[in-house]
Structure formats: C-alpha cells, structure tokens
Amino acid sequence: MRNTEGQIGADRDLYSTVQPYAQQMLDVGDGHVIYVEECGNPDGIPVVVLHGGPGGGCSPGMRRFFNPNLYRIILFDQRGCGRSQPHASVDANTTWHLVADIERIRTLMGVDRWVVFGGSWGATLALIYAQAHPDHVRHIVLRGVFLMTARELDWFYNGGAGTFFPEEWRKVTDLLDGSEKDEVIAAYHRRLFGDDEGEQTKFARAWTQWETALATLRPRIGSVPIPAAYARAFARIENHYFINRGFLHEEGQILKNIAKIAHIPGTIVHGRYDMICPPKSASDLAAAWPSSTLHMIAQAGHSLSERQISSALVDVMDGLARNALKYCRQI
C-alpha cells in the first residue's frame, strides 16, 4: 500500500460532456428493467461506473472523468433508481442482485476484463463485485470509501456526524418521537415504507437532505428543495440497504475477504474531511490491500463534484490510460 496526500490532480479539468453512442433498457429479471448507456470509444479501455446511494442513479457528469478517445465508458442506473424501472422499488433489490446485474452487463457488452470505478456506495459495490468476480477486473478505482460496517452507519445515523452539524441533524431527528431518535434508520424505515405517500415524501426529503448537506467540504446548508421523486427513490432504497446491513453475510465482510482481490491493483481517492464516509475506512482498506494506492485529498470532503476530488480522479484515469497505451506499444 502506498499513501499520498494532496500530490495528484492539483488542477485537472474534467473532460467535456459526451453523448452516449448506445442506450438500452435491459431486462434483468425479477420485474426490473435497468437503464444502460455506453459513451466514448467503442474500442477503448472498458470502464464500468458504479454510482452511489444506493439509489442515487448515474448522471451525464459521471462520463467526464474519462478521456472519451481512450475509454469505453459504461454507466447504468441500479435497480429502482434513475431511469430504471420500477421506480423506487426494493423488491428483488439487494447487493447480490446488483452484482449479478453488473456481470450481465459485462457479458452482454462482450467485455473480458474492465476497470471498475465507484464512489461512496459505488465503492462498496465495486469491492464486493471484484471479490465475487476477480478474474474480470483489471483495476479498481474508488472514491469516498464505504465498507458497509456498523461503525460507519452508527457514525452517520446515530449522532456522530451530527455533533459537527447539530442544526442539520435536528432536522432529521425532530420528525421522530422520543426513543425513536436512538434508532434513526429503523424509525425512518417505518415511515418510508408506510401507506401514507405524503409522509413517505416528507421523510424521504429529510433523509436525502441530511446526506446532501454534508457531502462537500463547504456544507450545502439551505440548498434548493430536493425533487420528491428523486428523494423517494434515494431514501427508500438506501434505507432498505442500510437496515439490512448491505445484505452482507457478516460484519466486516469486505476487509475479511480482501485476499480475493490482493493481486488486483487499486487506487483510492478520499477527502480528508469526508463527513459521510470518515477517512478511517479508506485507511483501513489501503492498509489491508497490498496492491492499492491511497490518495488522501487534503482540502476535500465526500462529493464527486469537489474540485480536488474530481481533478485527482481525472489524473488517475489518465494515468491508467497512459500505462495501457505504453503496454500496447511494447507487445
């Protein structure tokens, strides 16, 4: 493991937005149809982009971290969110369904080995996918590491992060009664999956706004109201995963299974002041993963959109492309 702080991507611009050359709605079974797109060079280095949440969906901005002349960029909306249908559904929606969906996409696209790129929950999913299918992963690029542990969930939903942002945390807990404030995930689950759609939306917005407010180094307090449809999908799906501890088989599963990907090179980009996914997770992962490099970004929080985070990720992806081209010239 190699560790750097603030040494890469000092001022790298994102690539211009490109339009997909292929889009489809892919039937993955269980009543789910997911949105999949391809951008860039059809003959380029394949990279699959795993969005966060769970429930966040992909966006055009996620295409901009990759040189479109060198990468075949594959993005998809995970079950129940974005353009995938049915919207906000948690039926047949678990980590293992998503892992199977990623493999279905890889097979459909005719990809043997690809770069797996994910942030936040996307980093969690990237690690779990790679541990399940290591032979099909050439490199793992992670941002804002989340290992789906009780410690991380407790930090964000049991008052840890709230000690830094008490005003925002009160907006989450003021909707709850008495002892419910000590079990926020469970209490919100009851409202998000109740029969009252108006109450679902109220609690979904509060859940989503809490995470949005803390995503950047300069918190987005008092931002524009979050659209109801987005909030409902994001909050319901994320809460569904969190109350089920990510559907993992045991606590600490990702680090316990790190030997399965010990040989796969990985690059980790993490904000020093990430309030959603504390840096300890990234540090623990890098310490356990011998083929990884950790870049701790000195003046950054959690969000993919933060300047130093995005610059670092562009720099990482450009470096991978250069190394791939150098290798091709040598053979």
**Token pair recorded at residue 93:** 């929606």
- Range 15-27 average pLDDT: 97
Residues 143 and 285 in one domain: yes
Examine the fold and report which residue of 246, 262, 291 is the final residue of a domain before the chain moves on.
246
Residues 20 and 123 in one domain: yes
Q: How far apart are CA 279 and CA 295, in angstroms?
A: 11
DSSP string, 232-281: HHHHHHHHHHHHTGGG-SSTTHHHHTGGGGTTS-EEEEEETT-SSS-HHH
Catalytic residue among 101, 274, 315, 318: 274
Residue 218 is predicted with a pLDDT of 80
More confident residue, 225 or 276: 276
Examine the fold and report which residue of 246, 271, 294 is the final residue of a domain before the chain moves on.
246
Catalytic residue among 136, 189, 295, 302: 302
Going by their DSSP bridges, the two strands 22-29 and 32-40 should be labelled as: antiparallel
Say if CB 72 and CB 45 are below 8 A apart: yes
Residue 307 is predicted with a pLDDT of 94
For residue 302, indicate whether it is catalytic: yes
For residue 274, indicate whether it is catalytic: yes
Tell me the per-residue pLDDT of 70-125, one tens digit each, with 9 for 90 and over. 999 999 999 999 999 999 999 999 999 999 999 999 999 999 999 999 999 999 99
Percent of the chain at pLDDT > 70 equals 93
At 71, is the secondary structure helix, strand, or coil?
strand
Helix, strand, coil in percent for the chain, rounding step 5: 45, 20, 40
- Average predicted confidence (pLDDT) for the chain: 94
Number of domains the chain contains: 2
Residues 26 and 58 in one domain: yes
Residues 101 and 42 in one domain: yes
Catalytic residue among 84, 89, 120, 311: 120
Residues 133 and 169 in one domain: no
Tell me the per-residue pLDDT of 299-324, one tens digit each, with 9 for 90 and over. 999 999 999 999 999 999 999 999 88
Q: Residue 47 sits in a domain of what CATH number?
A: 3.40.50.1820
Q: Which domain holds residue 224?
A: 153-246
